[in-house]
């Protein structure tokens, strides 16, 4: 009698990077001749990719883990991956009968399932089965314009992960405890994936990573050099950048300006997280740039390349943020034309360094500032 094949179930919550991780795990299980199940209750192995970048998503992750634990069959293996095991492992301590797979140690799954095909042999995916999912029904504060919808469409398409981790040390960030140090994808792999898209007539390519602008700084290259190699590849395409650290735009500005200007027909949208318009707040956030430099460089983009659309992330209610600090963030929208913004109300996390800062902002004030910033942004995009 033939032995029944092992069934697996994979799910995730979180960002584009974790979505790619979930898809890579699916390919890994299939390469080892396992069968994908649509039902938790039928699966012999379950892997759930978690998120914990703010407390809300940590709680959603824990709730979903508990639901899966109730639904799965008793003899199944349940493995928790993603960011939560590294950010706040204590939250998993009292959950019985689970395995832990820290984000940057995913290859340990080879030991758990005694695989024939090893995890490291599986190529990074570019398209996933999760593209119509939106954080398990939870929306973060993003606001739509036609450019935002264009960006979302690009995000659901062909993705190239440039790197893991970052070189930052932001005081409010706990994700860095999971993603850890910068690890860039080899140049040849990036080019191969890009050419793969062009060969399939894919015209929208979405670059993602822990900090896409920091690409290559750990492997003796940089974002300028990889873009030079990309832009000589013939094809009708537009590229979109997620989470391009603004400090790298400042550092490589002259070279990037020339590249983007020359190839502007191939640029869709660039997302540069800025977080605040106040130098004092940026310093307390440990963001490594001055707002004057940000305004100068992005103003060049607005004037010289109006067809290149810009996005950003902004945080309101960071500890110690005064009315004056917040007004400087509001004023950013007068000085730079953004096609879309993410607005986050600061989320206090005991594991973040910013938790120890004085001057915590009341939730009602955060909400008011959030609404004022949103209102100003909506007026701006309606005028353009």
Query: What is the structure's pLDDT at 141?
Result: 47
The phi, psi pair for 83, rounded to 5°, reads -85, -30
Query: What is the structure's pLDDT at 175?
Result: 95
Q: Which domains does the chain have, with CATH numbers?
A: 7-121 (3.40.50.12160), 141-383 (3.80.30.20)
Strand order of the β-sheet with 340-345 is 183-184, 158-164, 204-209, 238-241, 267-271, 309-316, 340-345
Task: Return d(Cα 100, Cα 6) in angstroms, integer.
Answer: 20
Q: Look up residue 345 and give its DSSP letter.
A: E
Task: Return d(Cα 172, Cα 179) in angstroms, integer.
Answer: 15
Task: Return d(Cα 336, Cα 354) in angstroms, integer.
Answer: 28
The pair of structure tokens assigned to 270 is 């660039």
Query: Could you list the pLDDT tens digit for every one of the 384 residues in the chain?
Result: 446 789 999 999 999 999 999 999 999 999 999 999 999 999 999 999 999 999 999 999 999 999 999 999 999 999 999 999 999 999 999 888 899 999 989 999 999 988 999 999 999 999 998 876 554 444 444 555 677 778 888 888 999 999 999 999 999 999 999 999 999 999 999 999 999 999 999 999 999 999 999 999 999 999 999 999 999 999 999 999 999 999 999 999 999 999 999 999 999 999 999 999 999 999 999 999 999 999 999 999 999 999 999 999 999 999 999 999 999 999 999 999 999 999 999 999 999 999 999 999 999 999 999 999 999 999 988 765
Task: Return d(Cα 43, Cα 28) in angstroms, integer.
Answer: 16
The phi, psi pair for 154, rounded to 5°, reads -60, -40
CB neighbours of residue 70 within 10 Å: 8
- Measured CA to CA in angstroms, residue 102 lies from 87, 88, 111, 161 at distances of 9, 11, 14, 19
The pair of structure tokens assigned to 20 is 């790619």
The pair of structure tokens assigned to 119 is 């995890």
- Measured CA to CA in angstroms, residue 291 lies from 162, 299, 329, 331, 332 at distances of 26, 12, 10, 11, 9
Q: On the CB side of 377, how many CA atoms lie within 13 Å of its CA?
A: 24
Residue 347, SS3 per DSSP? coil
Query: What is the structure's pLDDT at 143?
Result: 53
Query: What is the structure's pLDDT at 150?
Result: 81
Query: What is the structure's pLDDT at 136?
Result: 47
C-alpha 301: how far from chain center: 23
pTM (predicted TM-score):
0.92
- Whether residue 320 contacts residue 276, with contact meaning beta carbons closer than 8 Å, is answered with no
Q: Look up residue 58 and give its DSSP letter.
A: H
CB neighbours of residue 134 within 10 Å: 10
């Amino acid at each position: 009698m033939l032995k029944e094949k092992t069934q697996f179930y994979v799910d995730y919550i979180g960002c584009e990077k974790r979505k790619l991780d979930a898809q890579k795990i699916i390919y890994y299980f299939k390469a080892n001749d396992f069968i994908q199940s649509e039902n938790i209750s039928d699966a012999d192995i379950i892997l759930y990719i978690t998120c914990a970048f703010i407390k809300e998503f940590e709680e959603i992750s824990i709730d979903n883990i508990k639901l899966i634990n109730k639904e799965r069959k008793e003899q199944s293996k349940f493995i928790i991956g993603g960011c939560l095991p590294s950010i706040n492992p204590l939250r998993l301590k009292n959950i019985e009968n689970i395995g832990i797979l820290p984000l940057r140690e995913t290859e340990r799954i080879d030991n758990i399932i005694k695989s024939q095909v090893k995890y490291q042999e599986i190529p990074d995916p570019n398209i996933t089965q999760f593209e119509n999912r939106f954080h398990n029904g939870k929306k973060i504060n993003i606001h739509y314009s036609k450019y935002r919808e264009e960006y979302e469409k690009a995000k659901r398409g062909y993705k190239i992960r440039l790197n893991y981790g970052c070189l930052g040390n932001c005081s409010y960030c706990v994700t860095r405890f999971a993603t850890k140090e910068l690890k860039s994808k080899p140049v040849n792999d990036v080019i191969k994936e890009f050419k793969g898209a062009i060969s399939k007539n894919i015209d929208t390519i979405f670059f993602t990573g822990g900090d896409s602008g920091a690409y290559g700084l750990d492997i003796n290259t940089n974002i300028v050099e990889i873009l030079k190699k990309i832009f000589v590849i013939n094809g009708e395409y537009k590229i979109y950048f997620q989470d391009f650290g603004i400090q790298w735009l400042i550092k490589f500005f002259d070279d990037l300006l020339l590249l983007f200007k020359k190839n502007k027909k191939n640029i869709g949208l660039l997302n540069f997280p800025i977080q605040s318009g106040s130098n004092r707040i940026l310093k307390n956030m440990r963001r490594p740039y001055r707002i004057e430099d940000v305004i100068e460089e992005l103003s060049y983009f607005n004037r010289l390349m109006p067809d290149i659309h810009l996005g950003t992330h902004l945080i309101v209610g960071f500890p110690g943020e005064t009315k004056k600090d917040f007004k400087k963030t509001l004023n950013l929208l007068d000085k730079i034309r953004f096609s879309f913004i993410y607005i986050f109300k600061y989320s206090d996390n005991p594991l973040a360094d910013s938790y120890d800062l004085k001057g915590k902002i009341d939730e009602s004030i955060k909400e008011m500032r959030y609404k004022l910033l949103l209102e100003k942004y909506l007026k701006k995009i309606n005028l353009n």
